[in-house]
Amino acid sequence: MHSIRPPVRAAASVTKRMCNSTEEDSQLRRGPWTLEEDTLITHYIACHGEGRWNMLAKHAGLKRTGKSCRLRWLNYLKPDIKRGNLTPQEQLLILELHSKWGNRWSKIAQQLPGRTDNEIKNYWRTRVQRQARQLNIESNSKRFLDAVRCFWMPRLLQKVEQNCYSYSTLSTMDSQTDAAASASSTNFTVDNSLSSESFPIQTKWANYSNLPSEHSNSVTSPSVLSTDSKPISPQTQTLENPASISPPVLDNTVYDNLIVGDCYYVENSGYDMDGLNTASVPEIVAFGDSTSECQMAESNWVFDNDMADTLWNMDDTWQFRL
């Protein structure tokens, strides 16, 4: 989780960044915001609402531009801003939406309540592009998109499943000790991001075992990513047998089947915890039309072992840790 930097460290950089042109400019503050400034904005907006940022800056007594005030409010002060690491679900959504929309950060951010375009942009530039650099491939190339689709997204999905399992276990424990809690488990949400309301995209209910046939054809688990029987890496073997590490499948459970463009992913939002089955392992996801891109035999490139190792060692980058 990134630290919320205290806004008081400002002075040095403020003076450093001071504009030198007009007198008016020289009176404008730049750089990090102080607590006092934050309070001024917050109080002003509480009284007058958002908008008219130049007026706000003037009337609230801020020596800032309207633009600066707007940015500060939207990216930092707004009450519904979500802080902390992006969850696997959110990362998945970002990857998928970016593949559809490109650098339309604000548009992507609209699908992630509480996250700002700036935050998503930073995430992409720091984490995603860094990995592209490490792999020595263009971050906007098809090759990189393939890597994202074939390796990271399934991995993230697995992490989502693991999260669900952890939370389901908690829920089950609750139910043993507290009938009332159990009764309300349909609304159980452990992580904000697990709540379906965090995804104002098209959703539909579907039995996990009843994915549409055109997608069930292309159900993609990490195990199908290898075109031959040779494991891509030791980590892949683990994934090929997720039972060794992974949570139980939510068998016969009603899933919230999220559809994002041509990508399906299945989310258990904790709606029905009764059908937990601790024996089997989920086929995690179906990637719709993009599946062919994930089938390495049909791809015009292959992962060599080094790259595969690199890919599988990116847990830190993708925040796979629970």
Residues that bind DNA (CB under 7 A): 2-5, 7, 9, 12-13, 16-17, 19, 29-33, 51-55, 64, 66-68, 70-72, 75-76, 103-107, 117-119, 121-123, 125-127, 130, 317
User: Which residue, 30 or 100, has its beta carbon nearer to DNA?
Assistant: 30
Supply the minimum distance, in Å, between the C-beta of residue 293 and DNA: 24
Supply the minimum distance, in Å, between the C-beta of residue 100 and DNA: 12
Assign 320 to helix, strand or coil.
Answer: coil
Q: At what angle do helices 153-177 and 88-101 cross, to 10 degrees?
A: 150
H helix or E strand, kind and range, residue 94: helix 88-101
Instruction: Tell me the torsion sign for CA atoms 167, 169, 170, 172.
Output: positive
Supply the minimum distance, in Å, between the C-beta of residue 314 and DNA: 11
**Rounded Cα–Cα distance for residues 5 and 17 (Å):** 19
User: Which residue, 128 or 296, has its beta carbon nearer to DNA?
Assistant: 128
User: Which residue, 68 or 246, has its beta carbon nearer to DNA?
Assistant: 68
**Rounded Cα–Cα distance for residues 251 and 107 (Å):** 35
User: Which residue, 78 or 143, has its beta carbon nearer to DNA?
Assistant: 78
Supply the minimum distance, in Å, between the C-beta of residue 289 and DNA: 24
CB 164 within 8 A of CB 188: no
Supply the minimum distance, in Å, between the C-beta of residue 168 and DNA: 28
**Rounded Cα–Cα distance for residues 122 and 289 (Å):** 29
From the list 134, 76, 151, the residue with the least C-alpha distance to 312 is 151
User: Which residue, 29 or 155, has its beta carbon nearer to DNA?
Assistant: 29
